[in-house]
Structure 1
């Protein structure tokens, strides 16, 4: 997303606007994390993860077509709500699926995979932006969100038990 936001602002001739667009998204990151933490959670963390990933996908799709800075900023703000929720749910699901003795290692693997995914996506988005512009780069983000949604939905079929309530209370 960052590569595409920068390319969008530069393409519009106002590179400084990228900071305002990041600001919109990051402020809603804070609000999204706070609201999710304050909310009394019901239902399965896997279902919440799938729903949040689907919401991120739907929210990011308009970025492929929108051109007005205010509309792009508002849409980036909307996508920003989902990011902290997905991070929290990843931690909750990790904690519930590995033995306590290897929990630190599991979190390390998850963080490393996330960093590798971000770096790879930035490289792909950079190439796509170079050839197709910022909107094509936003398509990479929307595509990644769609893949995440499919993976989260496939996790709903896993017959293993859901996260114990004590785990959900610790991180959510």
Structure 2
């Protein structure tokens, strides 16, 4: 079978009108996901020589993003993506530049935390917005799984390109360059996405005089996926800090970006394969199995002793990332009302980013206290935590949430009204 035939499900995605444009804008717009956190670590560490402070500031930015992004998503569901994105991009540019200025100028450190929080709070989750566009455009559940797998691959491409770019710019040009590049890419991509009105899902304004609509966060699958994503996020946040410190201890600081890219390469390859498979079992079972696999793969970090071993460990460990994220997104998409889809997807990512906050802070303190090699215990144990939380929450996934479009074990088809809405929106 030729590669063209194998990859044809992905090619068919881009027959959807406007899909190439919003996919490209979404790819550029989510570059801050892999650059702002690492860029903050490199920037603050260069100014203060403290990984603990760098992790705390980076974690503050991530925490603000985790708290604010669902609010942006709710506004998007109610008012549409275009106008909300434009406001957010202006706010992101202003707050991000102000944060960079106070760090470089050596302003009081409390201003660093305030503006880091403001920058994170001004950042909507672009990946969730793009996934909502795919869910709106594709009538078949199999197509949506392929689209979500493609978006997971895009996420990993971001993490292949971003960390090496930030590390090289910060190490060879100037520490602020990495953060600034990620910030400008996010603003440009988000602004470009905001102008693509034809492909955005129609707004779902709040109805007055009727029963209050439940938020996507009130469904059991969203809660389970968001909570279990906490462990995954701690792993991600800790890896950024520990790998940078370990590469520096090994005398090769520029290798940090390459190691982080290896995690992303492994996830990218696994995501491409997962999107083509039609696996047996329920969506809930796939999510739990992938989460447990992620937890097991994370234990490879306990035996890291050199950069030469860390590279293959990163590649193998990365292969568990995309299936976990794709299976979680597919499960949530099958169980929540269409009007709350963007918010529901964003809440699951909020659990992930909330974990990044905690992971960056824990890893920074661990590096300063134990050294970089022993600090790999933080991401390894966090990966195990993600698998355990998914297992503990699995009984809640057996019954479909009230108001959700799907049932356990079934990938839902689009509602009869969906094609009509798409034609009207087009």
For the aligned pair, the TM-score class normalised by the smaller chain equals: 0.7 to 0.9
Q: Which residue of 2 aligns with 1:160?
A: 399
Which of the residues 256, 266, 281 maps onto 1:28? 266
- Structure 2: unaligned runs, 5 residues or longer: 1-238, 401-407, 414-426
Deviations along 1:60-115, whole A, 9 cap, x unmatched? 21312321322211111111111111111121121223222222221222222322
1:123 to partner: Cα distance: 1.2
1:163 to partner: Cα distance: 4.7
Which of the residues 249, 270, 281 maps onto 1:11? 249
Deviations along 1:95-152, whole A, 9 cap, x unmatched? 2232222222212222223222212211111111111122333211111111111111
1:19 to partner: Cα distance: 2.1
Where does 1:106-145 land on structure 2 (aligned, <5 Å)?
A: 106-145=344-383
Q: Which residue of 2 aligns with 1:87?
A: 325
1:34 to partner: Cα distance: 0.3
Q: Which residue of 2 aligns with 1:41?
A: 279
Per the normalisation by structure 2, the TM-score is 0.37
Q: Name the larger-Rg structure.
A: 2
Quickly say closer, same or farther: Cα 1:27–1:68, change in 2 above 3 A: same
Q: Distance in 1 between matches of 2:373 and 2:294?
A: 17
User: Mean Cα displacement is larger for which, 87-96 or 154-163?
Assistant: 154-163
SS state of the match for residue 42, structure 1?
coil
Q: Distance in 2 between matches of 1:108 and 1:26?
A: 21
Q: Is this contact kept in 1: 2:363–2:378, CA < 8 A?
A: yes
Q: Distance in 1 between matches of 2:375 and 2:355?
A: 15
User: Mean Cα displacement is larger for which, 20-29 or 44-53?
Assistant: 44-53
SS state of the match for residue 376, structure 2?
helix
SS state of the match for residue 165, structure 1?
coil
Where does 1:57-76 land on structure 2 (aligned, <5 Å)?
A: 57-76=295-314
1:38 to partner: Cα distance: 1.3
Q: Is this contact kept in 2: 1:49–1:86, CA < 8 A?
A: yes
Moved over 4 A (4+): none
Q: Is this contact kept in 1: 2:300–2:317, CA < 8 A?
A: no
Q: Is this contact kept in 2: 1:63–1:135, CA < 8 A?
A: no
Higher relative contact order (CA 8 A, sep 6+): 1
Q: Distance in 2 between matches of 1:44 and 1:4?
A: 36
* Counterpart check, 1:56 vs 2:294: yes
Q: Is this contact kept in 1: 2:282–2:409, CA < 8 A?
A: yes
Q: Which residue of 2 aligns with 1:77?
A: 315
Q: Is this contact kept in 1: 2:282–2:410, CA < 8 A?
A: no
Q: Distance in 1 between matches of 2:349 and 2:295?
A: 22
Quickly say closer, same or farther: Cα 1:95–1:117, change in 2 above 3 A: same
Per the normalisation by structure 1, the TM-score is 0.87
Q: Is this contact kept in 2: 1:93–1:163, CA < 8 A?
A: no
SS state of the match for residue 67, structure 1?
coil
